[in-house]
Structure 1
Amino acid sequence: MNTGLLLKRLILAVLTIAVLLQVSLSLVESWGKPQIQSRLELYQTNLLLHAAEGQSLVTSGEEDLTAARNALLGDNPFENAQNQYEQVLETAQTTQSKIIAKLEQLSSNKDVATSIGDELAKPQMQIAPIDEVPMTSQQRKQLQKSLSQTEQLIDELNVRLGLLQAQQGKTEVAIQTWNELIEQETLESTAPATTPSAQTAAVLAGLWHDPPRILPDAESKIQRNLDSWFQYRALLQLYQLQQRQDALLSLQAQEQQRAKQALLKLALISAIPGIGGIVGVGLLLFLLGQWLLQGERSLLATNSDMPWDTPWDGETIWQVLILGFFFIGQILLPIFILPIFLVVFQLEPANFTVRMQAFYILMSYVLLAAAGLGVLYLSIKHFFPLPEDWFQIKFRRKGILLGLGGYLVALPLVILVSLINQKLWQGQGGSNPILSLVLEGQDTVAIVIFFSTACIAAPLFEEFMFRGFLLPSLTRYMPVWGAIVTSSLIFAIAHLSLSEVLPLATLGIVLGVVYTRSRNLLAPMLVHSLWNSGTLLSLIILGSGGS
């Protein structure tokens, strides 16, 4: 065997091991992170609360909005909101228990290691005692940080849950919820009510107490520690007790305006998956019916068993996938190149604004795409000219229609899988970090950059790699359907969030079917772009409803 070829394969093997280790660690790490879905549901619940409050503030001439409100909110919006918050609270408490159990396990392991180390450290052995490995220490720090964040979330949820209980006339239950939070902190600290949640709970318990007790700085603590409908409801109670009529009227006028905006936002959020999902189900049934009736002449059967003429072998596929995507994206860029860039320009990511974070993510993705496509080109240039149906992007009507149809079919399928997936993971498993930044960072320039990354750069590069190269290459070794499934799983795993594997694999299968039937990369690129655009649009609308 050629020495150069042997060395190349050895390097690829080492890189593969490093990539598998890094990807596995990233997936395991994502297991302990919360999904963004729970936060999205709470943001949507907050919009529902604003819209529900608007029902009691309807003025003459606005009765026409009542039917729309009833259709979107249901019969018991406040009870539904309470149920939603209780579900998220239960998930957070489960996460808290798991973290505590893991910390106890690490402490137990440390005690065992210490006792073994003491035994080995006897003079006659001349061996240094075994200490806790650095990875365990790092794990403990990360777990303690996660525990602190989870406990803070639980306290915030209990404060809001009490307000929902009070809104429904369950005053005694609400006061008990707030008092338990205050008592819990008193047990853990010598100074009671020091956290924002405990201070807010004390203020709220006083406002709903019989007789009421208005604590000092009650208004400023409510404005500082509460937001959205919860701030409105607490201030409403305060102003009513203080008999501040002007402030009360101003507050209600502001809430009426928020209620109208919330209703519009809820309608927009519901329209895309609602109408699109219904059309998608109809289209999916039509395609299945056509396939059953027409067989080989149906759209689904087009090119379904026709492999690509692949001039390279599995080693080239291996090289492009490991070196051109995973090694560069998971090791070279994040561990070596980008940290050096930050040191050279004396930048600290912790101090980045949302706009800077957006630009940093775009820059990172452009570097990944450029390097990945460079590796792809160098790996296959020896096989030029390629057969006609490789990497084609044709701006034709058929490709556009297949792209739109693929997006509509993907909506009900991915939503259904996501609902099942959420039950399986119970709010854990991590999410794409870009989603959180878009949800919380309502900056116009940042949003434009995020759209450029997610809706232009990602569809172009990822479809080129996973559908344009990987899927057709795999048809050399397996049936077309097998290549679609395999490339979809790799595509899903590449996003490094356990909770997203099933939904993204489902989306990947739709993308693969669209591409194999069209033989035009424009179609899956359009599906991918529309999907990311719809997701980001929903996040922007939800994020803007937090005030």
Structure 2
Amino acid sequence: ALLMGLGCLGLAAYGLDKWFGLEGSDGRRFVISMASTFMFQGLVLVLVQRFLRENQLAWSAAFGLRHPRWGRALALAVGAAILTVPVNMSLMWLSQRLMEWQSLEPVAQRAVEVVQTSTRVDQKVLLGCLAIVTAPVVEELLFRGIFYPAIKQAGYPRLALWSTALVFAATHAHLPTFLPLTFFALVLTFLYEYTENLLAPIVAHSLFNSINYLWALLASQVS
């Protein structure tokens, strides 16, 4: 299975390379990164589906997608995303100052750099789809939908809350955003607990990423 996955990844990267006509190390690195990310997300969805089937659960029942108060859940999701943005910006500023105090240079995320500097529309569209559509769905299924309730039901609610938040932030592999993303993950978990509907953190996550994506695009236009 591992060899098959690596083979598929190689074929996908090669195909995208030819399709988009990317040349140079930066272009190929972008293609390989996108291919591996989308394949990983697809694998997560397959594993979640298998987990639900083995436990005889429907998606709606497992993640509260048919909760009767879904309209309220969506409204809370929008409010949470909007209110979280200024807090996260403040935490980002604090993280950057702390890094500078430790003689560390804060650098932008690779995805943000591509959005701000790339002249290729297809690259920006792919990153937009990743940030706004696929990443929120997959990450919320994994962290809030699977890991958090599993650890909590094992009798460790505090461990569930903090471990999923910290691991969520760590998986983004970007030191300046570690503190803001930890806070954001806590907000998403509380939102899921309060609404009992995974659609709420998915929508909040998507809207939050949309705001940051548009912010990066506007910054590239201004510069």
Give the TM-score of the pair, scaled to structure 2. Answer: 0.80
| 2:80 equivalent to 1:406 | yes
| 2:43 equivalent to 1:366 | no
- Matches of residues 119-268 of structure 1 in structure 2 within 5 Å? none
Alignment-mate amino acid for residue 378 of structure 1 = R
| 2:181 equivalent to 1:507 | no
Alignment-mate amino acid for residue 453 of structure 1 = L
Q: Which residue of 1 aligns with 2:199?
A: 522
- Kept in 2, the 8 Å contact 1:438–1:447? The answer is yes
Find the partner of 2:99 among 389, 400, 425. 425
| 2:64 equivalent to 1:392 | yes
- Matches of residues 466-545 of structure 1 in structure 2 within 5 Å? 466-545=143-222
Q: Which residue of 2 aligns with 1:460?
A: 137
Counterpart CA distance in 2 for 1:431 and 1:469 is 30
Indicate the RMSD between aligned Cα atoms, in angstroms. 3.4
* Change over 3 Å in CA distance of 1:435–1:387 after alignment to 2: closer
Post-superposition offset of 1:440: 0.4
Counterpart CA distance in 2 for 1:409 and 1:398 is 16
- Kept in 2, the 8 Å contact 1:358–1:450? The answer is no
Post-superposition offset of 1:357: 6.9
Find the partner of 1:375 among 31, 47, 53. 47
Question: Structure 1 stretches of 5 or more lacking a match?
Answer: 1-327
Deviations 1:482-533 (A, max 9, x none): 4222211111111122332211111111111111111111111111111111
- Kept in 2, the 8 Å contact 1:455–1:532? The answer is yes
Alignment-mate amino acid for residue 450 of structure 1 = L
Counterpart CA distance in 1 for 2:78 and 2:16 is 43
Identity of paired residues, percent?
Answer: 20
Alignment-mate amino acid for residue 83 of structure 2 = V
* Change over 3 Å in CA distance of 1:429–1:543 after alignment to 2: closer
State the structure with bigger RCO (CA 8 A, min sep 6), 1 or 2.
Answer: 2
Counterpart CA distance in 2 for 1:430 and 1:336 is 33
Counterpart CA distance in 1 for 2:159 and 2:142 is 17
Post-superposition offset of 1:369: 1.2
Question: Structure 2 stretches of 5 or more lacking a match?
Answer: none
SS in 1 for 2:62: coil
* Change over 3 Å in CA distance of 1:357–1:451 after alignment to 2: farther
Deviations 1:405-426 (A, max 9, x none): 2113312332222121111112
* Change over 3 Å in CA distance of 1:511–1:362 after alignment to 2: same
SS in 2 for 1:531: helix
- Kept in 1, the 8 Å contact 2:148–2:164? The answer is yes
- Kept in 1, the 8 Å contact 2:82–2:208? The answer is no
| 2:24 equivalent to 1:351 | yes
Alignment-mate amino acid for residue 207 of structure 2 = L
Aligned length: 216
SS in 1 for 2:177: helix
Deviations 1:49-106 (A, max 9, x none): xxxxxxxxxxxxxxxxxxxxxxxxxxxxxxxxxxxxxxxxxxxxxxxxxxxxxxxxxx
| 2:93 equivalent to 1:416 | no
Counterpart CA distance in 2 for 1:370 and 1:436 is 25
Deviations 1:391-410 (A, max 9, x none): 23348311211101211331
Q: Which has the higher helix share?
A: 2
- Matches of residues 102-121 of structure 1 in structure 2 within 5 Å? none
Counterpart CA distance in 1 for 2:168 and 2:74 is 23
Alignment-mate amino acid for residue 539 of structure 1 = A
Structure ID, larger Rg? 1
* Change over 3 Å in CA distance of 1:405–1:342 after alignment to 2: closer
- Matches of residues 269-288 of structure 1 in structure 2 within 5 Å? none
Counterpart CA distance in 1 for 2:78 and 2:61 is 21
- Kept in 2, the 8 Å contact 1:442–1:544? The answer is no
- Kept in 1, the 8 Å contact 2:114–2:124? The answer is no
Counterpart CA distance in 2 for 1:353 and 1:469 is 35
Counterpart CA distance in 2 for 1:528 and 1:370 is 18
- Kept in 2, the 8 Å contact 1:429–1:499? The answer is yes
Counterpart CA distance in 1 for 2:64 and 2:203 is 14
* Change over 3 Å in CA distance of 1:346–1:526 after alignment to 2: closer
Post-superposition offset of 1:353: 7.8
Counterpart CA distance in 1 for 2:14 and 2:32 is 14
Post-superposition offset of 1:481: 4.5
SS in 1 for 2:162: helix
Counterpart CA distance in 1 for 2:213 and 2:35 is 19
